[in-house]
Amino acid sequence: MALFERLRAAAAADWSLYVEHEFVRQVEAGTLPEAAFRAYLVQDYLFLIQFARAYALAVYKGRTLGDMRAAQAGLSAILDVEMDLHVRLCERRGLSAAELEAAPEHAATIAYTRFVLDCGASGDLLDLHVALAPCVVGYAEIAARLAARQRAPLEEHPYGEWIREYAGEPYRDVAAAARRHLDDLAARAMTERRFAELVVLFGKASRLEADFWQMALDSATAGR
């Protein structure tokens, strides 16, 4: 079994908290309050800045050119694809890129991104990519499921552009490459004892993803 599937199965409860979160359910139904989506977009933009740094760290920590190229591809996907998507979505909601960058980071954003950066700084490349995997692979899986369940065209869905971006082939390719790289790293560096440690990292990252969704819901409820 591929490493990602093993991790997901071993941390099933944490994974479910993330991918079945109420935020995701409301996105699927198109009932998510606009204020919650707006809060999510702002914080996810700041989140991506830190994740770009994580991929830059992965370039530095890469032991082979293949590792470095894989990290560079992830960095490019963030800087050249995901962040552009967020800017487009935010501009339609009256938020400029300058306003996004000036926004303060929420505690949930700090908690998750610094956890990932710490995994990379204190551990090796496998630790770092396991911590990244719930986000990188999870978004593709969530969006594919949401897209498949829609009865009406995504063009008519209030969050259809977001779903389409992460369910589309370019991002699916990013997620598939991340899975393959995890397997390559595991073949070089993983033991069964190490697997148990990686499950802890994967579960923690999944719970922090769930906290990130909750942050957006809570922000909308509080009127922020």
pLDDT in tens, 64-101: 999 999 999 989 989 988 888 888 888 888 888 888 88
So what's the pLDDT on residue 98? 87
Is residue 135 part of the annotated active site? The answer reads yes
State the DSSP string of 198-212: HHHHHHHHHHHHHHH
So what's the pLDDT on residue 224? 45
pLDDT at residue 45 is higher than 60? yes
pLDDT in tens, 31-44: 999 999 999 999 99
So what's the pLDDT on residue 92? 87
Q: Which of 5-14, 32-41, 144-153, 215-224 is the least confident region?
A: 215-224
So what's the pLDDT on residue 67? 93
So what's the pLDDT on residue 81? 85
* Catalytic entry in 90, 135, 141, 165: 135
Is residue 119 part of the annotated active site? The answer reads no
Query: Within 10 Å of residue 102's Cβ, how many Cβ atoms?
Result: 9
pLDDT at residue 180 is higher than 70? yes
Alpha helices per DSSP H over 83-156: 83-91, 97-102, 107-122, 125-149
CATH superfamily of 3-24+47-221: Heme oxygenase-like (1.20.910.10)
pLDDT in tens, 145-177: 999 998 888 888 999 999 998 999 999 999 999
* Catalytic entry in 28, 82, 165, 209: 209
